[in-house]
Structure 1
Amino acid sequence: MTTTVRTEGIGPSAVFALPWLVAAERGYFAAEDIEVEFVKNRAEQTLTEPAEDHQLVDSIRNHVPFEEGRVDLYRACEWGQIRRAHDSRRGAKIIGKRSSIAVMALMAAPGSPYTYPQTLANAPIAVSFHNGNHYAAIQMLEGFLTGPEIKTVGYHTLDGYHAVKKGEAAAVALSEPWIALAEKQGFQKVIETHYAGLELAAPDFDPAVYAACNRAIGRAIADINADKRRYLHYLIDSLPEEFHGELTPDDFHLPRLRYAEPAPYTREEFEKSYAWMRQWGLIESGAAYTDLVVELPGTDARK
């Protein structure tokens, strides 16, 4: 009997869902008697102007279909998923690590004075609040700047990109394929990092189905890592229409794209990230690993 799994995977999250897209393309889900339906995420809360206070922005806004029950699981950055599991009205649970080891870079306009991290002190940095670029931007800069000197401002990615071009923001936090686009258009990179992600699932999502999905994902990851260029069309097609035709596979630095086998999310990892979020006022106190994370059978959650 075929099981249907509904997940995010088209549009701006294509880079994070690439193993899922490839597993579907290659028939690996079908081999596990799973049919995957890809659902495009959308914004619940539209930002009509730059937002300076992340507390006024809903952490779940991009993932309303999950909260409405139209998506079974989805993937995003580690910190954001901790926050969304905490905030979820549906009772979302962290079920495992995302296979995409995401890259994030702070990119400044061509020829701008923002040439290394310290030059961004007290300068507006365009991020998407409660997403990986928000948290990664802080982590990249906290080794160079004091807390009050880091000025993140909430934008949608496209708006933040244009804000930098117009001189309204000093830098914008970008993942792929936006990094490749920015570099092709002459932006200068200030700093870059890789970071982990997590998958959130419905509270009643079957662990056996998740294990079957991960077997398919593992096969897809082997394909991606053997020939990344073959699957770059998913990333290129995810850019807004105004940039269609701008990028080719030759524009990507392939080592930036990193995919690893699915793995459980441990208590130690959670405690470290949760403590950092508390330090920066990015989540309330009182959340516990056992409240937010599914401890799957046969895994050691301690390490």
Structure 2
Amino acid sequence: MLADRSIRLFHLPFSFMLPQKVASERGYFREEGLAVDLVERDRRDVEVKYIPAAETLTGEYDVDLYPICKWESIRRTWTMGDGRIVANGTFASLPYTVFTRPESDVETPTDLADVPVGVNRRTGQEYTARKALEEHIPADEVDLVGCGMPTDRLQALYEGRVDAVTLIDPHSTLADHLGFRRLLEYDNHMGIVGGDAIDRDLLEAFLRAYGRAVEDINADPDAFRGTYLEMLEADAAVAPDLFDDVDVDAVREEITVPQYEVPEPVDREELDEHLAWMQDRGLIDESASIDDIVAPL
């Protein structure tokens, strides 16, 4: 076991990262010899995206580990030099869903050709959404527009500023209760990026603690409903008008805690394929090298 290694761990207050918070609160990191400082931002201070676009987490925020969408982890490590990827995975049975308004002419995913779809740019959603949409429409007809955080995307759809948006639970369930229609579901893929202080022993200790939290949640999901639903309650304070026309208790009752998975040490070959996909579409520089993106653990 490690001897009280101190790490600053960035936390995303979203549904797919619940095990990270549970591992911290239950002392699983501490039992692995990790003195974890969970770095969080006040949701009320976040206007567009939770992970800052112009600042490095491993630099300006002095973070040692941070979770982020797999494709954005590739872009961020290469273009910003913000650490290197140490792990990746699906993380949870929580698919993204593309929603449209009930009166929209968009009936199927193929109708989304040249239709603006609201995402949160620079979070990775633009890559996962693009990859999913390309299975139904030509790549040059994918039109993604930045609409911000989940409540911002819901507001944009509600006000008719876009014809479709991507969402993940618990906001997908809220969208159902607001009367929006589901068009398409696709998997959510995540990565974990580490700074210079992360070595193999520390990563393995982190993953063991994370795995214990996953086992706890999957064994008794209802025991974690309160923590899981805190995300929805926080957004009710940020965007109260979205909740005016729904039965919030009914939304809460319908939401279920998903099954979680443990991230795995980084799959270099898989990420190299994703890098090539991004380069083919001009989403990242042609000179980007997997050697500078993946940590040599």
Shared fold, TM over 0.5: yes
Q: Is 1:286 the equivalent of 2:287?
A: yes
Residue by residue over 1:112-164, the C-alpha shift from the partner in whole angstroms, topping out at 9 and shown as x without a partner, is: 22231022221111111132321121112112111232111112023221111
What is the aligned partner in structure 1 of residue 84 from structure 2?
Answer: 93
Alignment size in residue pairs:
281
What is the aligned partner in structure 2 of residue 180 from structure 1?
Answer: 173
Extract unaligned runs of 5+ from structure 2. Answer: none
Residue by residue over 1:216-273, the C-alpha shift from the partner in whole angstroms, topping out at 9 and shown as x without a partner, is: 111111111122232233332224213589365532255xx34222312222201211
Extract unaligned runs of 5+ from structure 1. Answer: 48-56, 297-303
Structure 1 stretch displaced more, 226-235 or 215-224: 226-235
Q: Is 1:139 the equivalent of 2:131?
A: yes
Q: Cα offset for 1:60?
A: 5.4
What is the aligned partner in structure 2 of residue 67 from structure 1?
Answer: 59
Mapping 1:143-182, distance limit 5 Å: 143-157=135-149, 158-182=151-175
User: Secondary structure at 1:36's aligned position in 2?
Assistant: strand
Mapping 1:11-160, distance limit 5 Å: 11=13, 14-41=14-41, 61=53, 64-90=56-82, 92-98=83-89, 100-101=91-92, 102-157=94-149, 158-160=151-153
Amino acid at match of 2:177: K
Amino acid at match of 1:182: A
TM-score, length-scaled by structure 2: 0.84
Q: Distance in 2 between matches of 1:225 and 1:33?
A: 24
User: Secondary structure at 1:195's aligned position in 2?
Assistant: coil
**Correspondence for 1:246 among 233, 245, 248:** 248
What is the aligned partner in structure 2 of residue 205 from structure 1?
Answer: 198
1:233 and 1:249 in contact (8 A); partners too = no
User: Secondary structure at 2:265's aligned position in 1?
Assistant: coil
What is the aligned partner in structure 1 of residue 7 from structure 2?
Answer: 5
Aligned in 2, Cα 1:251/1:67: closer, same or farther, shift over 3 Å? Answer: farther
Q: Distance in 2 between matches of 1:220 and 1:99?
A: 16
Q: Cα offset for 1:85?
A: 0.7
Q: Distance in 2 between matches of 1:213 and 1:99?
A: 17
Aligned in 2, Cα 1:63/1:259: closer, same or farther, shift over 3 Å? Answer: farther
Pairwise CA RMSD: 2.7
Q: Distance in 2 between matches of 1:200 and 1:16?
A: 16
